[in-house]
Structure 1
């Protein structure tokens, strides 16, 4: 997974931070419009899961409003959804990295500030965890270290 890099752009001062549900809807609608058109990840949305973008937007707004503002609106099982997709079409590191690239670019084009940075950081954490889980590994990016006692 590509490491998260904070954005430092001079034009950032002219963009607002993510502050409302309307901001989140703008973000997810812009992002998913781009994702659907993307040659790498678009077919997963359009040909594998046949996602209804209009129906999906409020769900994703609930998800990101919960992530960014602790709104408690999202109650689905995101892992199961991605595992089910992975069974139909393996989700590779390239898919997750492209998703992150599109997400981060979209956030940076629309917003700047604490919540915008949080949206990118959380996306990296979530994507990393989902990728590890759908490929059969532990969710944590940290491995558990166990100490073996000397024999005898």
Structure 2
């Protein structure tokens, strides 16, 4: 990533185009989520399973979503159902997750796949809300 005077110390957004980019995005997002007062409690399980191992799985998930690979072997809905049972994945938490995700994407990346990362995230939030508690999509 290159630096730009218009962004101060932050790297200028580049086109989201590779697994390396996804890994950078996911790591930055999780650093923020783990520090966020609304989201951090729902992420406490990472202390048990390990952040680095989890980031690989999340990277595989987003690589499959954005670049149509087949590496992801997780169970998206059951994992979030369990998290909901332990932490209450409320509409406020989903909204904050989406704000943080989209803000991180916008800060780091641009382009078709960056836009798709935000659109797919919004669709996943709506789908999870319906699945977990019959909630209305955003």
TM-score (norm 2): 0.85
Pair 1:68–1:48, CA change in 2 (3 A): closer
Q: Give the alignment partner of residue 100 of structure 1, picking from 98, 101, 120.
A: 98
Higher relative contact order (CA 8 A, sep 6+): 1
CA contact (8 A) 1:45 1:51 kept: no
Q: 2:33 matched to 1:35?
A: yes
51 and 102 in structure 1: CA distance in 2 versus 1, 3 angstrom threshold: farther
- Structure 1: give runs of 5+ residues left out of the alignment: 1-9, 142-152
Richer in helix (by share): 2
Counterpart for residue 120 of structure 1: 118
Aligned-residue CA RMSD (Å): 2.2
String of CA shifts for 1:8-32, please: whole Å, max 9, x gaps: xx98xx5221111100000000000
Rounded Cα–Cα distance in structure 1 between residues aligned with 2:48 and 2:90: 19
Q: Unaligned stretches of 5+ in structure 2?
A: 1-5
Q: Report if aligned partners of 1:107, 1:120 keep a CA contact under 8 Å in 2.
A: yes
Larger radius of gyration: 1
Runs of 4+ in structure 1 off by over 6 angstroms are none
**Aligned residue in 2 for 1:110:** 108
Q: TM-score, normalised by structure 1?
A: 0.77
**1:7 paired residue number:** none
Q: What's the counterpart of residue 61 of structure 1?
A: 59
Aligned length: 128
Q: Aligned equivalents of 2:46 and 2:54: distance in 1? A: 15
